[in-house]
Amino acid sequence: MRTRRTEQRAWAQTGGLAVLLFAVVALLSTIPLIRDWQSRFTDTFFRLSPIPEVRSKVVIVTIDDESLQHYGRWPWSRTLIAKLTNNLAQAGAKVVGLDILLSEPQSPATDNALRDALLVSHAVIVDKIASYPDGPQMRQASSAAA
* CA 67/CA 61 separation, integer angstroms: 11
- Alpha-carbon torsion (133, 139, 141, 143), positive or negative: negative
Amino acid 30: pLDDT: 86
Amino acid 126: pLDDT: 63
Query: What average pLDDT does this structure show over 101-123?
Result: 82
Amino acid 106: pLDDT: 85
Which of helix, strand or coil describes residue 138?
strand
Cβ pair 52, 86 in contact under 8 A: no
For the chain, give the percent of residues with pLDDT over 90.
Answer: 18
